[in-house]
Structure 1
Amino acid sequence: MIRLHHVPWGRSFRVLWLLQEMGITPEVLRYQIGSRGMRAPEFLERSPAGRIPALEIDGITVFESAAILQYLCESRPAFGFGRPPGHPDRVAYLEAMGFAETMASLIEQLNLNHLFLRPPAKPSATVIKLNTLRLADTLRALDGMIADEYILPSGFSAADAMMGFNLFAAPFYVRLDSWPKLQAYWARLQARPAFQAAAAIEGPQVFYARDFYEVPTDA
């Protein structure tokens, strides 16, 4: 049994996508952000902070998307999606895996301010502006990290799967027009059959109500 605890088009998309790259379709348990199911004792046993993803596999449960992807790569090395110690791309691989979460944390803050704060709470225009600029900085940096078709010279890896959620969500806050190489990279990721298979399992996104969220004019 392989079971993925999942919020559609959230960080857990990274796991669903890499599993599809491996030819594995898990049982998917879907949650909504803020739903009671994510605070249920049985879920907290699998993910102590009540966050997705959590993956039940090989008789264990792993939480945190980067940890899950690294576990999948190390437990199934024949697919070649990891970069083990001694590989020439090892350091760049580890940097990209961590950098994906730096970017995702900024997306999370923008989600919070744009989508979750409701009256009487008031989003901070200054915080939105700062986090939007920081997100743009990470996108600029990612543009410079792309080696050729993918992040690493040696080809597609779990680091690219880590970026899948980010490059789905980031354009709702920062337009990618300034980085043609990054746009082409994102198009290549979306063209991969496993990405398309994972996206078909997801279905249309319903989280973002607008095509683009502007920085407030009073920021």
Structure 2
Amino acid sequence: MIRLHHVQYGRSFRVLWLLEEIGIETFGGLEVIEHQIGSAAMRESDLGRVSPATRIPAIEYKGLEMSESGAIVEYLTETYAPELNRRIGDPERASWLQWVHYSETMASLIEQLNLQMVFLRPPAKPSPIVIKLNVARLRQTLAGMEARLSGDWLLPGGFSAADIMMGFNLFAAPFYVKLDEFPKLQAYKARMEARPAYQRCIAREGAQRFYAQDFYPVPEA
């Protein structure tokens, strides 16, 4: 069976969702290795054997070891789910690649906000200037998606792994940027959440345990 190194609602959610979309039975089952982000146990586990950065996600399957969500998603769709990929020669190939990697532009900003707003503990203090800048940048990435969404999914050809890559982002981004100003993204997020494979992932994950509040405003200077 395939083994997934995972943190609840982290970037590895992308891979978990993809595996559900493909069908767990394709891989002979799924073993999820749960990690607690930032913990000593995570650093001391054998995750570093699979992931050079000792970070999630990472997969192990039939001798294959991979990390980095974008790379995993590209490989698994090329190999097991071509309908979720856009292969070389497909007219949507460039757009598919663009959105798959755009998701990491957005996720890197979420990561910075998580570090500042969730991980920092007294006496360390988050920087209002840095947070304000990252929130503005995150809002701009959302605005860019809002402006380009013209159908149900990112690509005219239908649902793909590019949408799966955005699932983690649209789960986490609303903790820092309210989606009220982005009606297309709200509807897009609702379509994601209505997919049976996504719902199976949510049922497995349970209530999120990372964020202590529903929204994190920019702190006062």
TM-score of the pair, normalised by structure 2: 0.95
2:137 equivalent in structure 1: 134
Residue of structure 2 in register with 1:48 after alignment? 52
Q: Percent identity?
A: 59
Question: What is the CA distance between 1:144 and its match in structure 2?
Answer: 2.0
CA distances 1:30-87 after superposition (whole Å, capped 9, x unpaired): 0001122322262211011110000112321110000010011011145x00000111
Whether 1:60 aligns to 2:67 is no
2: CA distance between counterparts of 1:110 and 1:123? 9
Alignment match, 1:183: 186
Cα distance in 1 for residues equivalent to 2:174 and 2:158? 24
- Alignment: residue pair count: 217
Equivalent in the alignment of 1:107? 110
Say if 2:7 and 2:36, in contact at 8 Å, map to a contact too: yes
The alignment's C-alpha RMSD in Å is 1.1
Q: Which residue in the other structure is 2:35 paired with?
A: 31
The answer to whether the Cα contact below 8 Å between 1:37 and 1:43 also exists between their aligned partners in 2 is no
Q: Which segment is superposed worse, 25-34 or 156-165?
A: 25-34
Greater Cα shift, 144-153 or 106-115: 144-153
Structure with the largest fraction of helix = 2
Which residue matches 1:76?
A: 80
| 2:21 paired with 1:18 | no
Amino acid paired to 2:196:
P
Structure 2 unpaired stretches of 5+: none
Decide whether the 8 Å contact of 1:132 with 1:173 is kept in 2. yes
CA deviations on 1:77-129 (whole Å, 9 max, x unpaired) are 45x00000111111110000110000000000000110111122121010000
Structure 1, unaligned runs of 5 or more: none
Partners of 2:147 and 2:19 lie apart in 1 by 27
Aligned equivalents of 1:145 and 1:159: distance in 2?
A: 14
